Structure 1
Amino acid sequence: MAESKYLLLIRLAEDRQKAAGERMRLAQNRLADARSRQEQLDAFRGEYRQRLSSRGAQGISALQYQDFQRFLARLDEAMVQQQGEVERCTQRFLLERQAWQQEYKKLKAYEKLLQREQERAAVREARLQQKASDEFATRRFWDNNHGEE
């Protein structure tokens, strides 16, 4: 049987699905990195607040207290920015996952079309073989009954 027209489509769809999968994997890694940085910032902020509390209990100058507060304000800004980065990475990952799912559906659709084509070809082949077998049996019957008269 000649190569199916669907095989090329399947190969192209597989390539697109693999590329979409790679983009999704990269987006997932970026999201994990962004979340990790967010957790690190949060942990550092907690530690820094704890230091402020400890030092405050021992007594610090107003200038040191202001420095602590300014640094905490910068950490809070960094946390807000990092939260935005996490949200952007989450959206990117969701888009890439959706793109991968669409490519996966296309691939499965082409595979189903190929399967149907192969099933139709098998039915045609079975009919041809049955027809040939019937013709052979008919000839044999004819020859046996009318051949040597």
Structure 2
Amino acid sequence: MINHRFSMLITIQQQREEKLQAQFVAAQQFYQQAEQKYQGLANYRTDYIRQSQQQGAAGLQSRQYSQFVNFIAKLDQAILQQGRAVHQARAAAEQRKQSWLAMQKKRKALELLVQRGEQAELLRQLREEQKNADEYASQLYSRAQAVQL
């Protein structure tokens, strides 16, 4: 009965663990996507500056230069915001990972407890069987002694 209860608890823990693992995987994927977007923005900024410098070698009008500076500022702001999003996504993924690992640890502890309980029960049964066998042998010996008298 107790093992059945623990078995149910372990099943519940496994379901929770699987759910937390799925949440971790989703958070990890979201983090990777945010990181890729960040890298994409940074690469775009670098490419845009390079292209603008090549075009600027021929000379830029003040209006074009102003647009260039404004666009770079907007890119910098987007990169900064995406950097924050990456940081938050990484923190969320790490938190979900820790939750998943904690649940995994609880499940393993329950499994170990059940295993130890089963081993103790088996040992108790073996001792009981040995005791019964010893009593039976003792009774046989006593009867044999009584018959010889």
Structure 1: stretches of 5+ with no match in the other structure: none
Report what 1:142 is aligned to.
142
Deviation at 1:147, TM superposition (A): 3.7
Normalised TM-score (structure 2): 0.93
Partner of 1:47: 47
Matched-pair contact (CA < 8 Å) for 1:23–1:96: yes
Aligned partner of 2:87 in structure 1 is: 87
Matches within 5 A, 1:1-149: 3-147=3-147
Q: Secondary structure at the match of 2:60?
A: coil
Give 1:24's aligned amino acid: F
For residues 97 and 3 of structure 2, the distance between their equivalents in structure 1, rounded to whole angstroms, comes to: 32
CA distance change for structure 1 residues 67 and 24 in 2, over 3 Å: closer, same or farther? same
Given that residues 3 and 114 in structure 2 are in contact (C-alpha distance below 8 angstroms), is that contact kept between their aligned partners in structure 1?
Answer: no
Preserved contact between residue 13 and residue 103 of structure 1 (Cα < 8 Å): yes
Question: CA offset at residue 74 of structure 1?
Answer: 1.0
Structure 2 gap ranges (5+): none
Computed over aligned residues only, the root mean square deviation of the Cα atoms, in angstroms, reads 1.6
Q: CA deviation at 1:3?
A: 4.2
TM-score (normalised: structure 1): 0.93
Q: Give the match's secondary structure for 2:8.
A: helix
Once the two structures are superposed, residues 73-120 of structure 1 have per-residue CA deviations (whole angstroms, 9 ceiling, x without a partner) of 111111011001001101101110110111011011101110110111
> In the alignment, residue 31 of structure 1 is paired with which amino acid?
Y
3-state SS in 1 of match to 2:33: helix
Distance 2:92 2:125 in 1: 49
Residues 96 and 2 of structure 1: is their aligned pair in 2 closer, same or farther, counting only changes over 3 Å? closer
- The 8 Å contact of residues 21 and 100 in structure 2, kept in 1 or not, is answered as yes
